[in-house]
């Protein structure tokens, strides 16, 4: 494995942070401010893209910024897993920054400057997490994400907002202090370093004679410590965080924040503990069963929700666990299925949230029951919603199918019929809560006050700002379903070792 030491990789993380500063100082000029956001997003994406050829070449980029203590440092290391997450998050930020303009101006929201600053810094910190080269760096950026998304969750500054934000920060801070901090210390005591083993996912960083009990404890602490992944029973913050403006729910609570959690868990499983240790101790299979409960239970809860965003939130909880399920099965196919879902879920779920937000801005509707016949007034939005739903259910040619295919192959590799049944059952449940939304949109009966109104809602300029991004994301989720090669190549780099 070639490792190139270069300070260039700091750029990706710095651009969003600088964007945040520029936004802060141009708060008085909304057009300039919003252009900074978009520009920052584009540059971030380009910078990630520029590292892609090197990574595809099988090399890794590495840079140590600060050394705190031997084995504990702020170190960036970009490999296949990190680049998938960074690519997806930075690309979606571009679309989200357009979408934000439409949403925030469409609703004439207050404190928009604060909103954009925190938004940019959160994305920057997520980039840092994607690039993290050791557990401390990951923890550092994980915590920065928590702190900077707090003002976004309480953005409306009403009772609901404060309550949701309080719950949010309590869940995230409590778990990180109570579980992650000791986990990190235990890992350091056992291994003498916190640096990831990125060259080989099989080995992990522990010496062969490390106590298996201590490793098990550290693993469980990590699993629960990264509460952003929304594994039950620590998922409850996510539905309440949906009080935030929809662009926050869309980018952060469907892509960036929750994916930081899931990404961190995958990273810890693959680069700290390693496949060998997890399979030898049975922790992998335990995790697979454990998250299976979340997959099914969250889907059942989603069925009962009639508020569109709440339903999407529970769907997110359920879908995130697919990623962990895939990695936990510890076979090449299942890991591929799990990791590719980082991208597939991101594109599909952001489309769904974008659609929910566009519907809210254009028509003021939040509840699924009210959306009868809306498909005729917002055809693009509803079609995109339909396509993304197919992705969630796992129907070809949308990306979600690739995930389910590899995950199913993984269950067959380990001859585990229970997990295969979980997959199939959860797909049925997914269909159970997504199809009715689509049907309601096109075939449902409009509310009495909407009857007879047929004018399109998508023609207003600000709504256009929202519809165009969501059409693009829906298209891409089909494209990566048909051509998943880029992501498969990146994952292969890791899995083949």
| Site pattern 191..230 for other proteins (x: CB under 8 A) | -----------------------x----------------
Q: Is 148 one of the binding residues for other proteins (CB under 8 A)?
A: no
Residue pair 440/365 in contact (Cβ under 8 Å)? The answer is: no
The residue within the footprint of other proteins, chosen from 59, 143, 289, 479 (CB under 8 A), is 143
Task: Pick one of 36, 139, 219, 360: the residue that binds other proteins (CB under 8 A).
Answer: 139
The yes or no reply on residue 67 touching other proteins (CB under 8 A) is yes
The residues near 158 (Cβ < 8 Å, ≥ 6 apart) are none
Least separation in angstroms between CB 143 and other proteins = 6
How far is the C-alpha of 134 from the C-alpha of 271, rounded, in Å?
9
Region of 51-59, 170-178, 267-275, 382-390 interacting with other proteins (CB under 8 A): 170-178
Please, what is the minimum distance in Å from the beta carbon of residue 159 to other proteins? 8
Residues facing residue 4 across a β-bridge: 61
94 binds other proteins (CB under 8 A): no
Please report whether residue 68 would count as binding other proteins according to CB under 8 A. Answer: yes
Does residue 174 belong to the site contacting other proteins (CB under 8 A)? yes
Instruction: Based on the shown chain and the rule CB under 8 A, indicate whether residue 85 belongs to the binding site for other proteins.
Output: no
Residue 389 CB burial class (10 angstroms; 0-12, 13-18, ≥19): buried
Q: CB count, 10 Å around CB of 132?
A: 28
Which residue in 162, 286, 293, 442 binds other proteins (CB under 8 A)? 162
Nearer to other proteins, 248 or 494 (CB): 248
| C-beta of 170 vs 482, nearer to other proteins | 170
Separation of alpha carbons 233 and 294, rounded Å = 8
Shortest distance in whole angstroms from residue 128 CB to other proteins: 11
d(CA 387, CA 348): 8
From the list 165-173, 410-418, 439-447, 460-468, the region that binds other proteins by CB under 8 A is 165-173
The reply on whether position 178 binds other proteins by CB under 8 A is yes
147 or 447, CB closer to other proteins?
147
Instruction: Identify whether the C-beta of residue 218 lies closer than 8 Å to the C-beta of residue 183.
Output: yes
Q: 3-state SS of 170-226?
A: HHHHHHHHHHHHHHHHHHHHHHCCCECCCCCCCCCCCCCCCCHHHHHHHHHHHHHHC
Task: Tell me the pairing of strands 59-69 and 2-5.
Answer: parallel
Total residues at interface with other proteins (CB under 8 A): 35
User: How many angstroms separate the CA atoms of 15 and 127, rounded?
Assistant: 10
Bridge partners for 195 per DSSP:
134
Residue 185 engages other proteins in binding (rule: CB under 8 A): yes
**CA–CA gap between residue 273 and residue 265 (Å, rounded):** 11
Query: Are 94 and 109 a contacting pair, CB within 8 Å?
Result: no
Q: Is 169 in the site for other proteins (CB under 8 A)?
A: yes
DSSP, res 447: P
* The only residue of 3, 7, 50, 157 in contact with other proteins, by rule CB under 8 A: 157
Q: Please identify which residue in 4, 10, 140, 420 interacts with other proteins, judged by CB under 8 A.
A: 140
Residues 99-128 binding other proteins (CB under 8 A) are 110-111
Can you tell me which of 1, 32, 189, 421 binds other proteins, judged by CB under 8 A? Answer: 189
Task: Give whichever of 139 and 219 is closer to other proteins, judged by the CB atom.
Answer: 139
User: Is 223 within 8 Å of 265 (Cβ atoms)?
Assistant: yes
Binding part of the chain for other proteins, among 45-53, 64-72, 84-92, 338-346 by CB under 8 A, reads 64-72
Minimum Å gap between C-beta 224 and other proteins is 13
Minimum CB separation of residue 27 from other proteins in Å reads 11
Q: How many other CB atoms are found less than 10 A from the CB of residue 223?
A: 24
> Which of 323, 322, 332 is CA-nearest to residue 413?
332
Q: How far is the CB of 186 from other proteins (least distance, A)?
A: 6
| CB-based contact 334:409 (threshold 8 Å) | yes
Interface residue list for other proteins (CB under 8 A) = 65-69, 72, 74, 110-111, 136, 139-140, 143-144, 147, 154, 157-159, 162, 166, 169-170, 173-174, 177-178, 181-182, 184-186, 188-189, 214
């Amino acid at each position: 494995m070639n490792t190139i030491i270069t300070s260039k990789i700091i750029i990706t993380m710095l651009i969003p942070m600088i964007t945040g500063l520029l936004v802060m100082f141009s708060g008085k000029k909304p057009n300039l401010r919003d252009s900074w956001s978009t520009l920052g997003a584009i540059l971030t994406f380009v910078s990630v893209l520029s590292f892609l050829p090197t990574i595809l070449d099988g090399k890794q980029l590495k840079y140590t910024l600060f050394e705190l203590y031997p084995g504990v440092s702020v170190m960036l290391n970009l490999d296949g897993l990190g680049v998938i997450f960074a690519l997806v998050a930075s690309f979606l930020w571009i679309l989200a920054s357009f979408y934000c303009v439409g949403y925030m101006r469409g609703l004439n929201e207050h404190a928009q400057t604060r909103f954009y600053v925190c938004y940019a810094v959160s994305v920057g910190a997520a980039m840092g997490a994607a690039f993290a080269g050791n557990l401390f760096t990951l923890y550092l950026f994980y915590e920065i994400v928590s702190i900077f998304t707090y003002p976004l969750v309480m953005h409306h500054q009403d009772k609901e907002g404060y309550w949701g934000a309080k719950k949010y920060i309590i869940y995230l801070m409590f778990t990180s202090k109570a579980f992650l901090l000791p986990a990190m210390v235990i890992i350091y005591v056992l291994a003498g370093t916190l640096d990831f083993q990125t060259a080989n996912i099989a080995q992990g960083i522990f010496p062969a004679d490390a106590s298996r009990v201590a490793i098990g404890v550290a693993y469980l602490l990590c699993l629960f410590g990264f509460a952003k992944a929304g594994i039950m029973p620590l998922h409850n913050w996510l539905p309440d965080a949906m009080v935030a403006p929809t662009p926050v729910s869309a980018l952060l609570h469907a892509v960036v924040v929750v994916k930081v959690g899931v990404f961190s868990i995958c990273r810890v499983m693959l680069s700290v503990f390693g496949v060998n240790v997890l399979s030898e101790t049975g922790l992998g299979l335990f995790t697979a069963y454990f998250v299976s409960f979340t997959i099914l239970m969250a889907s059942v809860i989603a069925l009962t929700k009639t508020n569109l965003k709440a339903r999407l939130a529970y769907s997110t909880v359920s879908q995130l666990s697919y990623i962990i399920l895939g990695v936990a099965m510890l076979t090449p196919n299942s890991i591929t299925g799990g990791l590719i879902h980082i991208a597939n879920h991101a594109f599909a779920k952001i489309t769904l949230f974008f659609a929910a937000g566009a519907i809210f801005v254009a028509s003021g509707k939040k509840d699924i029951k009210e959306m009868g016949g809306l498909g005729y007034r917002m055809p693009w939005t509803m079609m995109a919603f339909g396509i993304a739903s197919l992705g969630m259910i796992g129907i070809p040619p949308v990306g979600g199918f690739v995930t389910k295919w590899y995950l199913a192959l993984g269950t067959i590799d380990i001859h585990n019929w229970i997990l295969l049944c979980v997959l199939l059952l959860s797909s049925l449940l997914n269909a159970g809560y997504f199809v009715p939304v689509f049907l309601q949109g096109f075939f449902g009966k409009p509310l009495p006050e909407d009857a007879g109104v047929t004018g399109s809602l998508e023609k207003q300029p600000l709504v256009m700002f929202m519809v165009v991004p969501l059409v693009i994301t829906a298209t891409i989720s089909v494209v990566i379903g048909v051509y998943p090669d880029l992501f498969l190549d990146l994952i292969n780099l890791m899995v083949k070792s």
